[in-house]
Amino acid sequence: MAGRHKLFLGMAAGVGKTYRMLQEGQAEAESGRDVVLGYLETHDRPETTAQAAGLELVPRRRVVHGTRAARVEVEEMDLPAILLRAPELCLVDELAHTNAPGQEHAKRWEDVEAVLDAGIDVYSTVNVQHLESLNDRISELTGTRVRETVPDALLVRADEVVLVDLTPEALTARLRAGKVYARERAEAALNGFFKIEHLGVLREVALRQVAEGVGSQRLVREGPAPLSATRREDRLADRGAPQAVGERLLALVRPEPAGQRVVRRAWRSSQRLGAELDLLCVRTPGAGTSEADRIALESLRRLASVLGAHLLVEEGDDVADVAVRVARERGTTYVLMGMPRTPRGLGRLAEVLPMTLLRRLPGVDLRVVADRTARAEEE
């Protein structure tokens, strides 16, 4: 039987996710449960360090990687040691972390899934900007591209998600007091990612993420800070209820960076609709594939896999013909696409793709998503 996963979600570093996880871990230990720290990152915060006192820590393993000329030694969570120790509950910080080469898994969230599969309960932490589907949105809002991400499905699969909430004003006060980063780093943080307007948007995104993920399920606010959402039991309870006819979303994508943006927007839309997501990439028959195209297509495949979408690569001279055929075969109810390219020459006389799809797919909704980066460049 798989372990239960409780995930502590925050809008940014410093809101108290790790502290809250340790609080609840201590409460479990006091009640008699066997609790260990699988991985803890205190960032030299005295309050966090104090909260971990008395909990057993599974020692990290030292990993050396790199070339002889540039060898690097790092410390990673010791997955085999945790599985051998087999506690009842394991606390794991920083879920989005990328492991050093040569470990059992590339990402720490994959290590956590292995711990859960072993029947061990897990408490873990992550910030909202690390959710894969929000990657482009967070970059647009803050000007910072987050490199380490986790699949949104982790939140869906979690038994409980606790939003550790803090007002932007309270977080900036913590920064200025040196409770998040050393004082010499605080000012740079406040003028960068932690600008008050950025924090306001991140908080709104975090609240919306939990609200949309829970839908009509029960929400419980536990005092002024955390917002807790019970997950798996509610889904199981709802299975006996009448189910609506399912939506199915088809997104037209191209193997290029802008295509990944469309994929993430499509995934967000599919979650709101409760729809299966198909991604369609149409390629010209017989056209050669450059190394750049191959890499871009592989990136699309990886992103589709992380988000749980179905990537379909089809050949055809006419994108509309292929899209209409695939939409009919897949039972599509909703089509999403990026801004169509401006036609050249005689192509300007042809019917634009969105109008063609609306005409040939009656009863299917169509959405053309804006390119927000282009709007920012114009401003």
pLDDT by residue (tens digit) across 44-97? Answer: 888 899 999 999 999 999 988 776 677 788 889 999 999 999 999 999 999 999
Q: What angle do CA 338, 311, 252 make, to 5 degrees?
A: 20
- Helix ranges (H only) for the chain are 17-30, 46-51, 79-85, 108-117, 135-142, 153-157, 168-176, 183-190, 196-214, 232-238, 257-273, 291-307, 319-330, 353-360, 372-378
Report d(CA 162, CA 213) in Å as an integer.
12
Instruction: Render 50-105 in DSSP notation, one character per residue.
Output: HHTTTSEEPPPEEEEEEETTEEEEEEE--HHHHHHH--SEEEE--TTPBPPTTSSS
- DSSP-derived letter for residue 147 is -
Of 9-23, 106-120, 264-278, 331-345, give the lowest mean pLDDT range. 331-345
Provide mean pLDDT across the span 227-249.
44
**10 and 93 Cβ atoms separated by less than 8 Å:** no
Pick the residue with more confidence: 212 or 319?
A: 319
Longest dimension (CA), the chain: 76
Calculate mean pLDDT across residues 138-160: 85
Residue type, 292: A
Whether residue 268 is predicted with pLDDT greater than 50 in this model: the reply is yes
Residue range 115-129: mean pLDDT, rounded: 95
Q: For position 64, what pLDDT does the model report?
A: 84
* pLDDT value for 72: 83
Averaged pLDDT, 231-259: 59
Q: Which residue has the higher pLDDT, 292 or 113?
A: 113
CA dist 118 and 79 (Å) reads 11
Residue 113: the pLDDT is 96
Confidence (pTM): 0.66
User: In terms of Cα–Cα distance, which of 92, 88, 87 is closest to 77?
Assistant: 92
| C-alpha pair distances (Å), 286 with each of 106, 300, 327 | 36, 21, 23
Bigger pLDDT: 211 vs 138: 138
**Residue 374 pLDDT class (50, 70, 90 cuts):** low
- Stretch among 112-126, 153-167, 212-226, 299-313 having the lowest mean pLDDT: 212-226
Nearest one of 250, 140, 214, 297 to 206, comparing CA atoms? 214
State the chain's mean pLDDT as an integer: 82
Give pLDDT, residue 342.
Answer: 62
Q: Which residue has the higher pLDDT, 345 or 241?
A: 345
pLDDT of residue 59: 95
Tens digits of residue pLDDT in 19-58: 999 999 999 999 999 999 999 998 888 889 999 999 999 9
238 pLDDT higher than 80 = no
- C-beta neighbour count of 348 within 10 angstroms: 9
> Which residues 6+ apart lie within 8 Å of 340 measured at CB?
352, 353, 354, 368
pLDDT at position 212 is 66
Q: Are 17 and 130 in contact (CB under 8 A)?
A: no
- Percent of all residues in the chain with a pLDDT value above 70, rounded to a whole number: 84
Residues 6+ apart with CB under 8 A from 361: 324, 327, 328, 332, 335
